[in-house]
Structures are given as C-alpha cells and as structure tokens.
Chains A and B, each alone.
Chain A
Amino acid sequence: MLRITGTGHASMRIDTGAGSILTDPWVNPAYFASWFPFPDNSQLDWETLGQVDYLYVSHLHRDHFDAEHLKRYISKNATVLLPNYPTSELEDELRELGFTKFIRTVSNEVVELDGGLKIMIQSLTSPTDGPIGDSSLWVEYDGVRLLNQNDARPADLTEFARLGHVHAHMLQFSGAIWYPMVYELPEAAKTAFGKQKRDRQFDRTWRYIDDLKADWVFPIAGPPCFLDDELWQFNDIFGDEGNIFPDQSVFLREYRAIGRDNGVVLLPGSVAEVSAGDCQVTHPVPDLDEFFANKEQYLRDYRERQRPVIEAAKASWSHPEIDVLAEFKRRVEPLLEESIYLAKGVGGPVRFDLTDDSGEEVVESLVVDFPAKQVRPYSDDKVRYRFRTRRALVENLLASGEVDWVNSLFLSCRFSAARVGQYNEFIYAFFKCLSEERLQYAEGWYDEHEKLVDTEDVTLRDRVTDQAWQVQRRCPHLKADLTRFGVIEDGTLTCQLHGWKFDLASGRCLTSAGHPLRAREATVAAGEASA
C-alpha cells in the first residue's frame, strides 16, 4: 500500500513500508509573488511532513523548488533523488541549502532503494523542457506503482508502462504559462486562443491518461492562484471561457464528461491510500464540491492573509543602485557574442520598455540587438518584438544575477508582450540561458537538433607541440563550442567550460566513461588553426 498525502500543487508525501518520499514542496509565493499554491498549504504541519527519508525536486521552476521552504522545513538527512540533468544546477542549489545525500539517477533506469522501494526518474533535457530539465518520478512498493508525471511532457509513457500496470497516475492538467494573457492581441483573439489552449490542455491530459491506463488519476501541479490585485483577473472565477487555469473541480467535471470516474483530487491534507485494488481517500474538508463552489470567497480570504507578503515582496524588488543599461550590456553582450543558433533564431532586435512602479510611464527603453550582438538604448528603429515590464523587476533580476528570466520574470506574468509575426521560441530560450553553461548547452542542443554536431569539425592546434587536430566542434559533454573552450596541450584536449579532458589520439574521454570525441591529426598551413 502507498499512503499519499496531498501537500499542495505538485507536492505530495508518499509513505511506504520502506520509507517516505516528499516531492516538490512549494509554499512561498513564486515568480515575483505572483503565483501562490491553490489551495493554501501553508497551514500544514511542515515540521512533521519535512521529516522524510527521500526528497524529490522534479526541476528548478519556483513552484517546484522553494528554496526558503526546503531550507527551513525539510530534513537535511533526507536523501535527494536527483534527476539526470545536463547541468548540475539543481544539485548545486540543493547542496547550498544543506542537503548532502544524493542518489544521482540515470533517466529511465530503475533504482532499488532499501527495503524493496523502487524508483525511476525520467529526465527531459531539451531547452524547451522547463528550466533546461523537467522530470517524472515512478515509484513501486509492495506491488503498487505510482507515476508522478508532474508537469513533464514526454512523447509517450512507454518507459513507465513497460514496468507494469500503474495504479496511481498524477499529472498536470491546467495552465502554467503567460499565454495568451500578456500578449497584445484583440480581446476576441485572446479569449479564443485561451479557450483553445484550455481545450488542448485537457486533450493532452486525456491522451496521457489513456497511454498509461492507471487505476486512479490525480490532477496535480496546478493551477496556481494569483493573489496580487494586479493579477487577480487570472483566477478562473469569472466564467471566462478563455481562462487557462481551470482547477481540480473543473478537471473532475470534464473527466466525468468523457465517461471517467477514477479521478481523485488531493487537497493539502487529503490522504489517499492506494493498494492494488483500491483507493481510499479522506479530505480535510467535509464536502469537496462545496469547497470548490466557494472558491471565490476562499481566494478573497487567502488574498487578505497574503497581502502583507505581497507588499513586502514588492518593496524588495527595486535596486536603484543598478545601472540597468550598463549591467544589461555586461551580462548579455558576451552571451550574444557566443550565441549562434539562438541569435540567428531570434533574428532581430528585442526591445524592453521599462516602466515606473505604477506601470504607466516608460522610464527607459533598451534594445537587445541579436544580429548586431549588442545591447543599446532604444532610438527609433523598428523592432518586431517588444516587452514591457517594471524597471524594478529588471533591476532585481540583474542585481540577483538571475540566469533564467522565464523562471522569474516571464512566469510572473508581470509583463506584456507585443510581436509582429509569429511566436519565436528562441527569444525565451535565450532569456532562460543567461549563463555561459546554459547558453552553451542550448546552443549545442540546437546544433545537434540541426544535425550538425556529427558533421561539423574544426581544426585546433596543440599549444605545446603545435600539432594540428581536426576535432568535432561541440564538446561531447554539454556541447560547448570547442573553438572557444577547447585547449590542446600535449595531445590532450580540455574543454574549459567544465574541465572535461579527452585523449585525442584515441578520442577517449579521460573525465567520464563514454563520451568519446571524434579527432584526428590534421595538416594545415601555419596560422589557420586556432584554439
């Protein structure tokens, strides 16, 4: 039997006879105090819930990774079940919070823990998967299996289905994005596109459910609620067909409409006991339907409780000491210089209009010019992509060194966007990669995607022997561009981004098993090679 306690949003505590797992505990508001867990989970007994054997943080999005909460409440004796991501950011952040025990999983490989508890984590690692990495957790104990798919979007669920019938399937069904609300579109288009998105979200959810055919289906990982007055309209309490944040009760209604009755809602504090043939659920409220029927009043009360939190957050955003243009240039221009695919994909200048705190007046406009690889004040040139947000938010991002503006500014929905033309994924990909490590990974991923990684070679010269070598352009580790990061000394190539070494004569990676590098001696004229 698995005992599953709902702990809010994507979070749950899974108790088994061989230990307990806490997933994605999120309590504090995320994304500039715009998202709050719905329903409120702050009153749970986190001191007790946090005493667990294992911790699973699916990815770094702030509604899954709540640093403050993890630090304060979650036992540092917990062993972290770590997804296999291309960068070490998640592990680094958890170590920073005091966690020391890690089980580094390999995607799609089952790990047997003590006492017969088995887990498997599937990691998704394209630049469009969350903050470069999203994952799902599969658990088996005593013949009962659970898949916490979370908000991950694998192509299919075959890897889980092959491990045997799944009894409990948890997955996202609601929206988690700024589309279409923030875009400057005709109102009718916004409503139509929101409605279609809402429909697509349910269709996708049904597809995953049909893929796995679990006994019980748990709608999780959303929706958040928006308690700041400025964002209040995003809550699905106005009968707006175009709202992309339907809640769990809407899920149940829609799910029943397609003839299914195995949906299970977990409120914070609900407990589901799942066995091979049964699922017994208790809730912390007397009537689930009544709870959702009173949602608007619930949110109003919640908003009043959180008002001081929101006000305090807003008071902390501004960093007037930051020279936004100068800092923007310092942070972004070196990355523009390195960017090949992303810069080409964006293809033009992107303007940021920064407003005062009221949002009424633009106090500064700057342009990130991708073709010119330059950040500059806006003059009056035409731009096809424009963002408008508070200057204080950008000051905050620059002051904190935030490397992922999707996981902060954009998911906050505290911006508007205007665009001439179609959606351009490269803009968001770039602004979630404001570190050398992330940018190199994304560039390499797109490079590989374009099927160039196996075809493009470059010539580098040994600094010691002057021997020229023809090597693949992208490092086999995280795809760093070796014309920039590769240094050859005495027949050994070092990729200076992460220090990985390769023996060029054999192509063998000296740092890690596998990861061979294609290399051969080359003959070039003096001055042609660079390293």
Chain B
Amino acid sequence: MNHWAGVISAETFATERLYARDTIRLPAGGDGTRPAAGDHVVLLARAEDDSLVAFGVGRVAGPVNGGSGDVAVNYTYRLFDDPVPVDLNRPLGLTPLTRDEADRVSPGEPVQAREQWFVSVAIPIEASSRAEAVREFWTYIDQLGPRELPAYVWPLGDELAMQAFVLGTAANQDPEEDD
C-alpha cells in the first residue's frame, strides 16, 4: 500500500465541507505514478496563508469513470471543523508521500461520541397548497443549498439549544451581531 497527499484548494474545501459526501474526487499527480485502490490518502486543503491543513483521511477507490484522469477517494474520516495544520508543501492533486511523511501528517481519528441531532430548514414559502409549498421548498433547497439557507440544528430533546448554520458554521442571524 502506498501513501498519498491529496491537496485541494481553499475554494474546493469550502464547498466540500458543506456536505458529508462519501467520496472526494482528486486529480492524479502529473508524474505518471498512479494510485492504486486501497492506497492511503491524507486529505489536505490549502489555507488562506498558503499553508496546508489536514482535513481527513481516505482510501483510493479507483479512477473516476469518464477518462478525466481523476481519482475517487473514499473518506475514512473527516475533520472539517477542526483541520490540523501540517508542515508539508505539496501542489494541488495527488502526490506520493513516504511512509514517514504519511505518519507525520496524518491527523488522528476523532474520538467524539456520536449524538443524535435534529436538523431542519424552515423556509417561509408562499404557495397555493401544501403540495405546491413542498415543491417550492425543494426547489429552494436545490437552488440555494447550504451556502445560502440557514439550517437549524439542535440536540435531541433540547430545542432551546437550536443554532443556525450557514456555510458549514454557526451563524446567528441577529442584525445586532456581526459574527
């Protein structure tokens, strides 16, 4: 099994962290070496200051169908909300890592216990019927998504702890606050 650094841009990371996808797509490096299914990938994102942060670990699933040369990587685990700075410099895409490098920059698996949450998106919709309102709702979800629509999330049984999230982070919608 080989080891790889899979680097994405800050913009791609901003999009990636909005969804809990099973797979991330990465361009293969330009040196001709091809990752093989099962290879270990440290997932890295370029931060604003051009340094790299590790936001997850995955395994190579195989080439993406369609002949683009991209490689599909299945997430083993993600650290979208607490990425770890790493001392490494790599270009975008997949490039090989030595075993030592991989050990050094691989972030540890988060140990938080899983809890149950309720998540909702409540949109005030004008429509002629319930069915039409639901259609409008899914259209808004489709068009605006997590970039624009606040999602409300609260732990099971504690609605008063409900928080609004936009762009993958808590964003209260209070005109008096500037966070």
Interfacial residues, chain A to chain B (CB-CB below 8 A): 128, 175-180, 183-186, 188-189, 191-193, 195-197, 200, 241, 386, 418-423, 425, 428
Q: Is B154 on the interface with A (CB-CB < 8 A)?
A: yes
Q: Are A189 and B160 touching (Cβ within 8 A)?
A: no
Q: Which residue on chain B has the smallest CB distance to residue A200?
A: B177
Interfacial residues, chain B to chain A (CB-CB below 8 A): 120, 122-125, 140, 144, 148-150, 152, 154, 159-164, 166, 171-178
- Which residues from B are CB-within-8-Å of A185? 122
Q: Could you tell me the distance between the alpha carbons of A177 and B174 in the complex, rounded to whole angstroms?
A: 9
Q: Are A192 and B159 touching (Cβ within 8 A)?
A: yes
The listed residue (A418, A422, A425) touching B150 by CB distance below 8 A is: A422
How far, in Å, is B157 (CB) from chain A's closest CB? 12
The listed residue (A193, A421, A425) touching B162 by CB distance below 8 A is: A193
**A189-B152, A192-B162, A195-B160 known; A423-B140 Cβ under 8 A:** no
Q: Could you tell me the distance between the alpha carbons of A420 and B171 in the complex, rounded to whole angstroms?
A: 15
Q: Are B124 and A420 touching (Cβ within 8 A)?
A: yes
- Which residues from B are CB-within-8-Å of A179? 173-176
Q: Could you tell me the distance between the alpha carbons of A200 and B179 in the complex, rounded to whole angstroms?
A: 12
- Which residues from B are CB-within-8-Å of A175? 176
Q: Are B159 and A420 touching (Cβ within 8 A)?
A: no
Q: Are A425 and B175 touching (Cβ within 8 A)?
A: yes
The 3 closest A-B pairs by CB, nearest first: A192-B162, A418-B124, A423-B173
How far, in Å, is A166 (CB) from chain B's closest CB? 25
For the complex, would chain B's binding face be called helix, strand, loop or mixed by DSSP majority? loop
Q: Are B166 and A422 touching (Cβ within 8 A)?
A: yes
Q: Are B164 and A193 touching (Cβ within 8 A)?
A: yes
How far, in Å, is A162 (CB) from chain B's closest CB? 25
Q: Which residue on chain A has the smallest CB distance to residue B144?
A: A421
- Which residues from A are CB-within-8-Å of B150? 421-422
Q: Could you tell me the distance between the alpha carbons of A423 and B125 in the complex, rounded to whole angstroms?
A: 16
**A186-B122, A422-B150 known; A193-B173 Cβ under 8 A:** yes
- Which residues from B are CB-within-8-Å of A184? 124
Q: Are A188 and B148 touching (Cβ within 8 A)?
A: no
Q: Could you tell me the distance between the alpha carbons of A418 and B166 in the complex, rounded to whole angstroms?
A: 17
- Which residues from A are CB-within-8-Å of B159? 188, 191-192
- Which residues from B are CB-within-8-Å of A193? 162, 164, 172-174
- Which residues from A are CB-within-8-Å of B161? 192
Q: Are A420 and B123 touching (Cβ within 8 A)?
A: yes
- Which residues from A are CB-within-8-Å of B125? 420
5 new A-B contacts, CB < 8 A, other than A420-B140, A421-B144, are A175-B176, A191-B159, A196-B163, A422-B173, A428-B175
- Which residues from A are CB-within-8-Å of B120? 186
The listed residue (A188, A197, A421, A428) touching B174 by CB distance below 8 A is: A197
How far, in Å, is B148 (CB) from chain A's closest CB? 5
Q: Are A420 and B172 touching (Cβ within 8 A)?
A: no
Q: Are B175 and A423 touching (Cβ within 8 A)?
A: yes
14 contacts between A and B (CB under 8 A): A128-B178, A178-B175, A179-B176, A188-B162, A192-B161, A193-B162, A197-B176, A420-B125, A420-B140, A421-B150, A422-B149, A422-B164, A422-B171, A423-B173
The CB with the most chain A CB atoms within 10 A, among B120, B124, B140, B163, is that of B124
The CB with the most chain B CB atoms within 10 A, among A197, A386, A423, is that of A423
Q: Could you tell me the distance between the alpha carbons of A131 and B149 in the complex, rounded to whole angstroms?
A: 29
- Which residues from A are CB-within-8-Å of B175? 177-179, 423, 425, 428
- Which residues from A are CB-within-8-Å of B149? 420-422
How far, in Å, is A342 (CB) from chain B's closest CB? 15
Q: Are B160 and A419 touching (Cβ within 8 A)?
A: no
How far, in Å, is A31 (CB) from chain B's closest CB? 15
How far, in Å, is B130 (CB) from chain A's closest CB? 16
- Which residues from B are CB-within-8-Å of A128? 178
Q: Which residue on chain A has the smallest CB distance to residue B177?
A: A200
Q: Are A423 and B148 touching (Cβ within 8 A)?
A: no
Q: Could you tell me the distance between the alpha carbons of A192 and B174 in the complex, rounded to whole angstroms?
A: 12
Q: Which residue on chain B has the smallest CB distance to residue A204?
A: B177
- Which residues from B are CB-within-8-Å of A180? 173-174
- Which residues from A are CB-within-8-Å of B148? 421-422
